[in-house]
Amino acid sequence: MKPQFMIGAVSAGSGKTLFAMGLMRALLKRGLKVQPYKCGTDFMDAQFLSLAADHETVHLDTWIASYTHVQHLYNKYGEKADVCVVDGSGGLYDGFRKMQGSNIDMAKLLDIPVVLLVNARVAGYSVAPIIYGFKKFCPSMKIAGVVFNQVGSQAHYALLKEACLDAGVDTLGFLSFSEEWKLPNKHTGLTLTVKKELDDKVEKLSEQITEQVDIQRLLSKCNGGFPCRYMLPYSSDTEFDSFVAPMRKIKIAIARDAAFNFTYRENIASLKRIGEITYFSPVYGSDLPEADLVYLPGGFPELFARQLHRRRKLMDDLKTFAEKGGKILAEGGGTVLLGKSLTTRQGGTAYAMSDILPYDFELINNRLQTKYRKYSMADVELKGHEYRYFQLPNGVATDSIVRYKNVIACFGHLYWGETELLKWWN
């Protein structure tokens, strides 16, 4: 038994992730070990949650992974935690196909209750039928209680509590209205300065949540059995045991800094099973570590184009490594590093990259694209998603996987937690 719950909301933009961050920090300050999870594929939210909980976030997504695998991840990473907190994505019932893949779908899969966050900035008693509808639309789902966000005054909160009571759902607390509670723009590099500012904000938010939310009651109402029971038909929660390990541990170099940090925790875990990992920084470093495999994850290289352009030794090392048949796996922004150049604004400077792939990339201003995608290579089908601000070269499809010698690159972000990685190069 342990407290475990999902933070869901009536709609996107209600403040779920911000509330989740403040609550996790408040729990951390109580001496509890918190395991954060993020529904969907949002890498920036996951990084925000990791900072707040001081523990790495795990993505849970039933489009890119099987139901059994998602349950396996939840159990595996939550085992040693005191509290498991799942931050939802979008509205509670919003899925990739009606309710399929929605937060409510995930909560049922994991058999955990929902703490419903309701943005009450311009709301009054009308929240009663909204809350009632969310409760009754899926009677099998347990809503542990409601927390109101953007509350204007104690009188306003008293009215909202009455509405909640009439809807038959408990009220667990509120957050006062404040312009201060805003997350950084998601198109930003998490530099040390940004992290410090965000950490200070989360610290203040946790203090307010401690004052205005009945945390102990929330934990009591969400206390439940752990681990979750696997859904039938059962495949395996030890799928990795069937992977054929290499004869020796290979050396794996992974790019990780403010420009390259869009990684799934389980992807990295699968790499650790087959190799010895060394991290390097394309933005701040100059040397490519000795490696059998180089992994260039996605991120925001366009925010650091000038710095990357100046790392000529690293660019040359990547080029030499590729030409000699070295294995490189690149995704999203990592693929940009392999191109000929990167232009960060229309008519701007084209910053030279490593020139391994014959592509010139250009930033698309204020036009984030994020979609689920399927990617095929030989007899392997992979799932992932786009999350990009840059323009693809003419004639290149968004679901393409590009191969040059032993360089494998795509323009989205892949999930291979259920796939044997090394067979891609067979």
Determine if residue 31 is left, alpha or beta; phi over 0 gives left, psi from -120 to 50 gives alpha, anything else beta.
left
What average pLDDT score do residues 247-263 get? 91
* Residue 232 falls inside a structural domain: no
- DSSP-assigned states of every residue in 318-333: HHHHHHTT-EEEEETH
Residues 272 and 414 in one domain: yes
| Whether pLDDT at 249 is above 90 | no
Neighbours of 230 (CB within 10 A): 16
Which residues span the domain enclosing 397? 239-425
| Whether pLDDT at 379 is above 80 | no
Residues 362 and 311 in one domain: yes
Residues 186 and 287 in one domain: no
Q: Helix, strand, or coil here: 207? A: helix
- Cα dihedral 270/370/19/169 (nearest 10): -100
User: Into how many domains does the chain fold?
Assistant: 2
Average pLDDT, the chain: 90
- Looking from the CA of 202 toward its CB, the CA atoms found within 13 Å total 27
Angle at 94 between CA 88 and CA 96, to 5 degrees: 105
Residues 189 and 300 in one domain: no
Residues 216 and 243 in one domain: no
Residues 176 and 216 in one domain: yes
Summarised one tens digit per residue, pLDDT across range 96-138 is 888 888 999 999 999 999 999 999 988 899 999 999 999 999 8
Residues 305 and 273 in one domain: yes
What average pLDDT score do residues 185-197 get? 83
Of 160, 189, 224, the position where a domain reaches its end is 224
- Looking from the CA of 103 toward its CB, the CA atoms found within 13 Å total 30
Query: The domain spanning residue 412 has which CATH number?
Result: 3.40.50.880
Of 166, 198, 224, the position where a domain reaches its end is 224
Of 201, 224, 247, the position where a domain reaches its end is 224
Length of the chain as a residue count: 426
| 55 CB-near residues (< 8 Å, 6+ apart) | 33, 34, 35, 36, 81
Residues 121 and 150 in one domain: yes
Residues 216 and 262 in one domain: no
Summarised one tens digit per residue, pLDDT across range 91-106 is 999 888 888 889 999 9
Query: The domain spanning residue 24 has which CATH number?
Result: 3.40.50.300
Model confidence band, residue 369 (pLDDT cutoffs 50, 70, 90): low
* Residue 230 falls inside a structural domain: no
* Residue 69 falls inside a structural domain: yes
Residues 88 and 190 in one domain: yes
Residues 391 and 348 in one domain: yes
Residues 136 and 38 in one domain: yes
Q: For the chain, what is the total number of helices (H) and then of strands (E)?
A: 12, 23
* Residue 282 falls inside a structural domain: yes
